[in-house]
Amino acid sequence: MLGSKKKYNGRQWWKEAVFYQVYPRSFRDTNGDGNGDLAGIIEKLDYLHDLGVDAIWLTPIYASPMADNGYDVSDYYAVNPMFGAMADFEKLLEGLHFRGMKLMMDLVINHTSVFHPWFLESRSSLDNPKRDWYIWRYGRDGHEPNNWASHFMTSAWEFDEKTNQYYLHMFSKEQADLNWRNAEVKEEIFQMVRFWLGKGVDAFRMDMANYLMKSESLPDAPRREGDTRPYVHGEGLYANQPGMRELLTELRSEVLDKYGAVIFGEMYFLTPETALEYAAYDQRRMDMLYQYEIVGARGDWEKVKKSVRVWYEAFKGKAWSSITFSNHDSPRPVSIFGDDKNARAESAKCLATFLLTAPGTPFFLEGEELGMTNVTYPDLASYSDIEMKTKYAERVSRGEDPGSILIDLARWSRDNARTPMQWNAETEAGFTTGRPWLPVNPNYPEVNVDFEQEDTDSVLNFYKKLIALRRKHRALIYGEYVPLTPDDWETYAYKRVLGADVYIIILNTSPREWHMKIPDELKNHRHKLLLSSLAPNSDMEEEFLLKPWETRIYKSS
Ligand code: BGC
């Protein structure tokens, strides 16, 4: 039976599903306030169903002052009025379940907003009962308690005059880290998770899932050679700390298992071996690892191939991983791994072929199915991303040239992923009738849903074919992964093999033509073409020319 505990390493819905990430603020605005809303997602459910995706990942919709776009939660039990009301949430969940689709919510519990009532209480006095719910320390000689850098490059500590102490924040100063060594915090959060599971949520993506426990003594982080910055990353002191694994085991047994829900961990600073401590089937602390290595390859296909090979070998039969090029924190993949200037559609199809046929559960962000690209705004004021702005200010304060910083940061800005979804060629790409919270990418007249629905050769229609193909041929999900080309080739070929079913996937990951000779082991077989991004409809010959970015999928017999 699907989902049975005994067959945990067997078939599971979340291994077979294709996940689509909805960034609600940018998806579809129905009330003209320039911000997307839950009603907008409901309006587009048929679009998502027709695309063929099985589950949506909803980035945070909880009440929030939006300093970090919802990753700063001020009330875990309420829906942000910007997005709608609890009734809209329930309707969305119902609409998804009605279509046989699942909902995964973001679980942001490493930190809360500094406007969360818990933090307001905690901050109010040294002896407040919630003081210990967050991480407070006195400074050292007029400086921060230690030298840790936040992920946004400033100090990880913020001074609070009222009580003369600093609080820890691994992200912006508007996001205070919870003290997970406090039993009340744990109970309170577990209770909140039960609340959402009680509503029928199917899965969680746990934000910063291996960061919750910080080292108890909070020592200085070791400085890397040559690093002259005042604050340093001390991941060895806040990621994977003692108690972290046990906490996740408890969350599983006390909460998740009671609802048959699954959890996927966003995790950094892991090797395939240490990742198994969380994701291995016999540990089940996380059902699946939400993988970042490919996003982190930053356009380097050699790294992508190596990462797939290494993680596949380490996880084979032991654990399951996701596969993704992007999310709301990264630039648009076609602008980084493809060629958004000269071969936007061709390279977007190449990325899609890889995403939907390589091992792991595929995740993609809204708009990726259209081949949406990075955006370039004229000045810093047009951007919204708090990470980009904080890093910009920090680099300016170190004397770097503002113009060069802007060019550098713009390419990697998280706003690239967050520009409004492009629905049609009308004003503001059909996203809103008002003024969008973030300007629409000017390429919307050519890159939009309406236009691509009509064009049989579009990126959107290619996604639909690939998703349908993946669903039909189970080897593309569960099959063994066998690389057929070396990591440093500009062509990438691999097999997926399940019993007698053999599929060959060939990708030209470069803007150059490639003369391909099929490997000896593939000779003497018939290779029937199932899908190709560019080529004429012919079966595999012993030698052939692959056009730039061209991809082909064959079934062998
Ligand atoms: C989220 C980011 C967020 C950070 C802090 C990340 O993993 O994806 O968008 O800024 O967590 O919550």
DSSP states along 332-380: -HHHHTS-TTT-HHHHHHHHHHHHHHSSSEEEEETTGGGT------SSG
What predicted TM-score, i.e. pTM, was given to this entire model?
A: 0.96
Q: Whose CA is nearest to atom 4 of ligand 1?
A: 71
What are the distances in angstroms from CA 351 to CA 51, 443, 506? 17, 20, 12
Closest listed residue to residue 240, CA positions, set 197, 270, 198:
270
Q: Which are the contacts of 330, defined by CB distance < 8 A and separation ≥ 6?
A: 295, 336, 412, 414, 416, 417
Per-residue confidence at 517, pLDDT binned at 50, 70, 90? confident
Catalytic option among 37, 68, 158, 207: 207
Total count of residues recorded for the chain:
557
Strand partners, 168: 157
Residues with CB under 6 A from ligand 1: 68, 71, 108, 171, 207-208, 266, 328-329
Is 539 catalytic? The answer is: no
Ligand 1: which of 25, 57, 61, 71 to mutate, most ligand atoms within 8 Å of CB? 71
* Overall average pLDDT of the 83-108 stretch: 98
Atom of ligand 1 nearest to the CA of 72: 12
* Coil/strand/helix, residue 543: strand
Atom of ligand 1 nearest to the CA of 170: 5
Per-residue confidence at 2, pLDDT binned at 50, 70, 90? very low
| The pLDDT of residue 4 is above 70 | no
Q: Tell me, what's the pLDDT at 519?
A: 82
Domains observed in the chain: 13-112+183-219+226-384+414-466 (3.20.20.80), 117-177 (3.90.400.10), 479-556 (2.60.40.1180)
Q: Whose CA is nearest to atom 9 of ligand 1?
A: 329
pLDDT digits (tens, 9 = 90+) for 44-69: 999 999 999 999 999 999 999 999 99
On the 0-12 / 13-18 / 19+ scale of CB atoms within 10 A, 485 is middle
Q: Which are the contacts of 441, defined by CB distance < 8 A and separation ≥ 6?
A: 372, 373, 375, 419, 420, 422, 429, 447
Atom of ligand 1 nearest to the CA of 266: 7
In the chain the first and final C-alpha atoms are separated, in Å, by 30
Closest listed residue to residue 72, CA positions, set 40, 106, 38, 103:
106
Between 542 and 139, where is the model more confident? Answer: 139
What are the distances in angstroms from CA 520 to CA 428, 524, 525, 543? 53, 9, 10, 11
**Centre of ligand 1 from the C-alpha of residue 71, in Å:** 6
**Centre of ligand 1 from the C-alpha of residue 59, in Å:** 10
Kindly state the tokens that stand for 122: 């905690």
Element (H, E) at 395: helix 386-397
Catalytic option among 72, 266, 385, 387: 266
For 111-142, give the DSSP string. EEETTSHHHHHHHH-TT-TTGGGB-EE--BTT
* Coil/strand/helix, residue 410: helix
**Side chain identity, residue 506:** I
pLDDT digits (tens, 9 = 90+) for 357-383: 999 999 999 999 999 999 999 999 999
**Side chain identity, residue 65:** P
**Centre of ligand 1 from the C-alpha of residue 407, in Å:** 23
Please check whether residue 138 is in contact with residue 165, taking contact to mean a CB–CB distance below 8 angstroms. yes
pLDDT digits (tens, 9 = 90+) for 390-425: 999 999 998 999 999 999 999 999 999 999 999 999
Alpha-carbon distance of 355 to 18, in angstroms, equals: 10
Ligand 1: which of 208, 211, 389, 391 to mutate, most ligand atoms within 8 Å of CB? 208
Alpha-carbon distance of 55 to 128, in angstroms, equals: 42
Atom of ligand 1 nearest to the CA of 207: 7
In 280-300, where does DSSP find H-type helix?
293-296
Atom of ligand 1 nearest to the CA of 386: 10
Is 174 catalytic? The answer is: no
* Overall average pLDDT of the 18-22 stretch: 98
**Centre of ligand 1 from the C-alpha of residue 60, in Å:** 10
| The pLDDT of residue 6 is above 70 | no
CA torsion sign for 351, 54, 108, 287 is negative
pLDDT digits (tens, 9 = 90+) for 286-344: 999 998 899 999 999 999 999 999 999 999 999 999 999 999 999 999 999 999 999 99
Buried/exposed code over 330-356 (b: 16+ C-beta within 10 A; e: otherwise): bbbbbbbbbbbeebbbbbbbbbbbbbb
User: Taking the CB of residue 10, how many other CB atoms lie within 10 A of it?
Assistant: 13
Q: Tell me, what's the pLDDT at 542?
A: 85
Strand partners, 103: 56
Between 233 and 344, where is the model more confident? Answer: 344
Per-residue confidence at 523, pLDDT binned at 50, 70, 90? confident
**Centre of ligand 1 from the C-alpha of residue 194, in Å:** 22
On the 0-12 / 13-18 / 19+ scale of CB atoms within 10 A, 309 is middle
Atom of ligand 1 nearest to the CA of 111: 12
Closest listed residue to residue 335, CA positions, set 436, 427, 410:
410
**Centre of ligand 1 from the C-alpha of residue 174, in Å:** 13
Q: Which are the contacts of 364, defined by CB distance < 8 A and separation ≥ 6?
A: 18, 19, 20, 21, 324, 325, 326, 355
Ligand 1: which of 153, 154, 205, 329 to mutate, most ligand atoms within 8 Å of CB? 329
**Centre of ligand 1 from the C-alpha of residue 332, in Å:** 17
Q: Whose CA is nearest to atom 8 of ligand 1?
A: 329
Closest listed residue to residue 264, CA positions, set 252, 247, 282:
252
Question: What one-character DSSP code corresponds to residue 177?
Answer: E
* Overall average pLDDT of the 450-468 stretch: 98
Element (H, E) at 459: helix 459-472
Q: Tell me, what's the pLDDT at 5?
A: 44
| Summary mean pLDDT of the chain | 95
Q: Whose CA is nearest to atom 6 of ligand 1?
A: 207
Greatest alpha-carbon pair distance for the chain in Å reads 78
**Centre of ligand 1 from the C-alpha of residue 550, in Å:** 34
* Overall average pLDDT of the 11-34 stretch: 98
Strand partners, 556: 502, 527
| The pLDDT of residue 196 is above 90 | yes
Strand partners, 546: 514
Ligand 1: which of 22, 25, 64, 207 to mutate, most ligand atoms within 8 Å of CB? 207
